[in-house]
Amino acid sequence: MPLSRYMISFPDPARPDTVILHSTRKSSTVRVSQRLYAAALADELGDKERDTLRRLLLWTDDLTAEREEMAGLIDHTNATSTTFAATIVLTLDCNLACPYCFEGHFRENIAMSEETAALLIEYVTREQLGRGRDVELRFYGGEPLMAMPRLKQIAVSLGKAAAHAGRKFSFTMVTNATLLTPAVVAELLPLGLTSAQITLDGTEEIHNRQRPFVSGKGSFALILANLKAVYRDILIKPGGNYTRENYREFSAMLDAMLEAGIDPAIMGPVQFSPILPKSGKIDPHAAACVASSEPWLIEAGLHLRGETLKRGFAVEKMNMGVCMIEIANSLVVNHDGSLYKCPALMGWPELSVGTLADGVGDYRESHCLDVWKNDECLDCAYLPLCFGGCRLLSYMNRGKIDGVECRKALFDASLVQMVLQDLNAGR
Ligand code: SF4
Ligand code: SF4
């Protein structure tokens, strides 16, 4: 049966005479007749039909070769990638006092020093630009716009170094958007700013309770006004952090943006994240890729995804879901120059992989690289979306990163619904 093993198929509930095929590798979807599906299973397709399915990565001529290709995919990506991506923690300082903030209990005006920033510039120039890679930074905090001089020091220096090396430099930021004014955007655009990930937590009432200024004043109205003023100049990726009790009210933030006159077609994908009860050390932004199969999380995720699409906003594509730990040219640089492989792991110093001064150490064993290179994962239809799941969850659940964190139950319960949501939204 040379239908790809990295696909799912299911009867279309709206048209019982058809079957939907979805490639987890290419995120392509096609609706075929029961007759054609039966012909595919029997390997009796005509050339044209076979070519179409092959192009959509729903068909393979050689299942063994396809499996081997998947096994080597991340190594190949790492060997050929020409981009270095890093998340940079500029400061832990913030003008908001969100009760759920993972940094709240140790936020003390701690920021990246000029010397550490110089080490970062030197490292990126030598190890990344110097080796022919483009550089994409993501400034993070605390609130990165509370550290504008440091942000500009890094962006200006790396912009010049990239131009000198004939490579590209750009940056994005995770910001609460209270300081993201047109003047700030105009100042940062020429330095390489391309997009910003911002947060609105549901209704104005929920947001002002979950994300007040340090003074206690609400921040919802100011953020919305800033968004409206800048969203045509940079790509804004909105998100919100929900709980089990309030997620049903979160579509209100999408309605508020629409009522403010914001055009959803120009906005970036919306990404809602749960505030996980047992993740006291994790910022929901840092751990957006943590995916749990708890029933309420599946229900909340599907509900918010559906509400988002219904209003004409984009959602993240169901693309390859590789944990950043597996990506060689990807780092997180903490404010003190310590290095990590994932922002959500910064709460655990024992998982640091090095420092700017000493470089990156060998983390293959400590971070259990290639954990997904086993028969069960390589034969699993969900492999392209999972690659062994989240190492952070493995660490939180078992105190070490020692195996896969299987997402089968999650995909079994949600993937068909997501494909149908996309089809209904015409994506
Ligand atoms: S460990 Fe990997 S999958 Fe988990 S939050 Fe970090 S980058 Fe995402
Ligand atoms: S961890 Fe589970 S869901 Fe993920 S690829 Fe392996 S078998 Fe599939």
Ligand (nearest to CA of 378): 2
Predicted local confidence at residue 347, as pLDDT: 81
pLDDT band at 398 (very low <50, low <70, confident <90, very high): confident
Number of domains in the chain: 2
Instruction: Calculate how far, in angstroms, residue 411's C-alpha sits from the geometric centre of ligand 2.
Output: 10
Report pLDDT for 385: 94
Judgement on whether residues 149 and 212 belong to the same structural domain of the protein: yes
The stretch 129-141 carries a mean pLDDT of: 97
Q: Relative to the CA of 411, which ligand 2 atom is closest?
A: 3
User: Does 160 share its domain with 265?
Assistant: yes
Q: Whose CA is nearest to atom 4 of ligand 1?
A: 390
Of the three residues 51, 71, 91, the one that is the final residue of a domain is 71
| Domain shared by 63 and 112, yes or no | no
Residue 45 lies in a domain: yes
What DSSP character marks residue 337?
Answer: S
Q: Output the CA 137–ligand 1 centroid distance in Å.
A: 18
Asked, for residue 248, whether it belongs to a domain, the answer is: yes
- What pLDDT does 279 receive? 47
CA distance 380 to 6: 7
Same domain, yes or no: 85 and 64: no
pLDDT at 290: 66
Task: Report the CATH number that the domain containing residue 133 is assigned in CATH.
Answer: 3.20.20.70
Ligand 1 centre and the CA of 231: distance in Å?
A: 28
Per-residue pLDDT averaged across 195-215, rounded?
A: 93
Q: What is the pLDDT of residues 180-196, one digit of tens each?
A: 999 999 999 999 999 99
Site residues for ligand 1, CB cut-off 6 Å? 287, 289-290, 323-325, 342, 344, 390-392
Mark whether 123 and 255 lie in a shared domain: yes
pLDDT of 103 above 60: no
Q: Please check whether residue 156 is in contact with residue 173, taking contact to mean a CB–CB distance below 8 angstroms.
A: no
Last residue of a domain, one of 277, 310, 343: 310
Q: Are residues 174 and 57 part of one domain?
A: no
In this structure, is residue 147 part of a structural domain?
Answer: yes
Local confidence band at 287 (pLDDT 50, 70, 90 cut-offs): low
- Do 190 and 269 lie in one domain? The reply is yes
**Cα 115 to middle of ligand 1, angstroms:** 29
Q: How far apart are alpha carbons 210 and 222 in whole angstroms?
A: 15
CA distances from 48 to 56, 186, 237 (A): 13, 51, 40
Please report which confidence band the pLDDT of residue 144 belongs to, taking 50, 70 and 90 as the band edges: very high
Q: Which ligand has the shortest distance to the CA of 276?
A: 1
Give the residue numbers spanning the domain of 113: 81-310
Ligand 2, pocket residues at CB < 6 Å? 372, 376-377, 380, 382-383, 386, 388-389, 404, 406-408
* Inter-axis angle of helices 63-71 and 73-80, nearest 10: 50
Pair (216, 246) in one structural domain: yes
Q: What percent of the chain has pLDDT over 90?
A: 82
pLDDT level of residue 278 (50, 70, 90 thresholds): very low
3-state SS, one letter per residue, for the chain: CCECCCEEEEECCCCCCEEEEEECCCCCEEEEEHHHHHHHHCCCCCHHHHHHHHHCCCECCCHHHHHHHHHCHHHHHHHHCCEEEEEEECECCCCECCCCCCCHHHCCCCECCHHHHHHHHHHHHHHHHHHCCEEEEEEECCCHHHHHHHHHHHHHHHHHHHHHHCCCEEEEEECCCCCCCHHHHHHHHHHCEEEEEEECCCCHHHHHHHCCECCCCCCHHHHHHHHHHHCCCCEEEEEEEECCCCHHHCHHHHHHHHHCCCCCCCCCCEEEEECCCCCCCCCCCCCCCCCCCCHHHHHHHHHHHHHHHHCCCCECCCCCCCCHHHCCCEEEECCCCEEECCHHHHHCHHHCCEECCCEECCCCCCCCCCCCCCHHHHCCCCHHHHCCCCHHHHHHHHCCCCCCCCCHHHHHHHHHHHHHHHHHCCC
Same domain, 160 and 275: yes
User: Is residue 67 situated within a structural domain?
Assistant: yes
Span from the CA of 147 to the centroid of ligand 2 (angstroms): 41
Sequence-separated contacts (24+) of 350-354 with Cβ below 8 Å? 351/395
Given a cut of 90, is residue 318 above it in pLDDT? no
pLDDT band at residue 232, thresholds of 50, 70 and 90? very high
* Residue 404 Cα to ligand 2 middle (Å): 7
Out of 294, 310, 326, a domain closes at 310
> What's the pLDDT at 344?
87
Residues 49, 111, single domain; the answer is: no
If asked whether residues 45 and 162 sit together in one domain, one would say no
Based on the domain organization, do 296 and 162 belong to the same domain?
Answer: yes
pLDDT of res. 285: 55
CB atoms within 10 A of CB 296: 12
